[in-house]
Structure 1
Amino acid sequence: MITIRNAHEGEAGALSEIGLRAWQRAMAPIGEADAMAPAARNAFLNFAETRWLTITVIEWHGHTAGWAARENLDETISDFWIDPSFTGHGLGSALLRSIEKEVAEQGLDSVMMQTHAENNEAITFFKKNGYAIHWLSVAYNPKLDRDVPSVGLSKPVSSQGDGPYGAF
């Protein structure tokens, strides 16, 4: 059974560990994840402790399986993490639909997110869920001491024009 809920103040530790495991998997194509893991763990913990009101959690059969955040409560997904041990069960798609619904209910027209350009698993996932790449940028990452390309993806979610017979 899938449950989607708002995060609770006291679960920052568990959420940060899920974020770290998923981040390590996403960083594998770039490398250096092991060296950056302590800093990443601290960043995830700090984020989950201070921004928990912006986090949506997904549970599967009573186990916390992942989370997503809209840090500024706008159309941008700032974080999207499914624990690698829970992938392949449709949890990411269910969580994404929930976030998209929240964004549409706010009257916003689209959902946006970004990831590094070598994160093929995430890019494939978002494309499968109707997202398209709209930009590519390259920025220097001092922790990696090299340029890292990123992609921005978005999907329209506006429900304007929807009536009893759907969108026209």
Structure 2
Amino acid sequence: MITVRNARAEDVPTLVEIGVRAWEQAVVGVADLQLRRGYARNTFQQFLVRQWLRVTVAELDSALFGWASREALDDEITDLWVDPQRQRMGLGSALLAAMEAEIAAAGFEAARLQTHARNLAAVGFFRKHGYAVSWLSIDYSERLDRDVESVGLRRQLIADEPIGYGPGGL
């Protein structure tokens, strides 16, 4: 059974390892894993030690296998990482639903996120959950130490209300 809950400080070491494993899978063919792995681990460690209060985790049978975050507590999902050996088991979907519920509860009408354009598994996952590509760009990635093609995705969470008078608008 999948359980979604807020992270705890003692979860940080496990969350770092999940993040690194999922990151390695996501950047195959985009980054030199041997060269960038230490940097990625350090980045996850620093973020999670400082921001674990803004992290939501997914457990399967009481073991941690995924996490997500909204760093600025706005409409952007900045992190969603699921252990590669536990993908396609509903953990990512549970985390995404939790992030979307937080975003809607905070008063935002849509959720947004970004990933690198070659991360076809992530793009497919988000499109399957109703996200549409809203922008493409090429930006320098400090984590990868190179220019990376990025894709931004967006999903409307709250239906637009018709403008006009009476039921159904004008």
Contact 1:104 1:159 (C-alpha < 8 Å) held by counterparts:
no
Shift of 1:123: 0.2
Aligned to 2:45: 45
1:51 alignment partner, SS class: helix
CA RMSD of aligned residues (A): 1.6
Deviates more, 1:27-36 or 1:82-91: 27-36
Equivalent position of 1:117 in the other structure:
117
Rg larger in structure: 2
Output one character per residue of 1:118-141: Cα deviation in whole Å (capped at 9) or x when no partner. Answer: 000000000000000100010234
Moved over 4 A (4+): 142-145
1:35 pairs with 2:35 = yes
Secondary structure class of the residue paired with 1:150:
strand
> What SS is found at the alignment partner of 2:76?
coil
Amino acid corresponding to residue 72 of structure 2 in structure 1 = N
Contact 1:113/1:152 (<8 A) preserved: yes
Equivalent in the alignment of 2:88: 88
Q: Secondary structure at the match of 2:75?
A: coil
How far apart, in 2, do the equivalents of 1:75 and 1:51 lie?
Answer: 17
In structure 2, C-alpha distance between the alignment counterparts of 1:30 and 1:153, rounded to whole Å: 20
Alpha-carbon distance, 1:94 to partner: 1.3
Q: 1:31: Cα distance to partner?
A: 3.0
Task: Tell me which residue corresponds to 2:127.
Answer: 127
Range moving further from structure 2, 139-148 or 63-72: 139-148
When the two structures are superposed, what TM-score results if normalisation uses the length of structure 2? Answer: 0.90
TM-score scaled by length of structure 1? 0.91
Post-superposition offset of 1:148: 1.1
Q: Do the aligned partners of 1:132 and 1:154 also contact (CA within 8 Å) in 2?
A: yes
Q: What is the SS of the residue equivalent to 1:29? A: coil
Could you say what secondary structure the match of 2:10 adopts?
Answer: helix
Query: Quick one: which amino acid aligns to residue 61 of structure 2?
Result: H
**Distance of aligned partners of 1:104 and 1:27 in 2 relative to their CA distance in 1, 3 Å threshold:** same
**Cα drift, residue 156 of structure 1:** 0.8
Q: Check the 8 A contact 1:70/1:77 in 2, yes or no.
A: yes
The 8 Å contact of residues 39 and 143 in structure 2, kept in 1 or not, is answered as: no
Listed as ranges, the gaps of 5+ residues in structure 2 are 162-167
Structure 2 partner of 1:157 = 157
Q: Deviations over 1:6-31 (max 9, x none)?
A: 00012211101100000000000313
What is aligned with 2:165?
none
State whether residues 40 and 143 of structure 2, in contact with CA within 8 Å, keep that contact through their aligned partners in structure 1. no
Paired with 1:98 and 1:44, the residues of 2 have a C-alpha distance of: 21
Secondary structure of residue in 1 paired with 2:154: strand
Count of residues paired in the alignment: 162
**2:151 is the alignment partner of 1:147:** no
In the TM superposition, residue 144 of structure 1 has moved relative to its aligned partner by 4.8
1:29 touches 1:119 (CA, 8 Å); kept in 2?
Answer: no
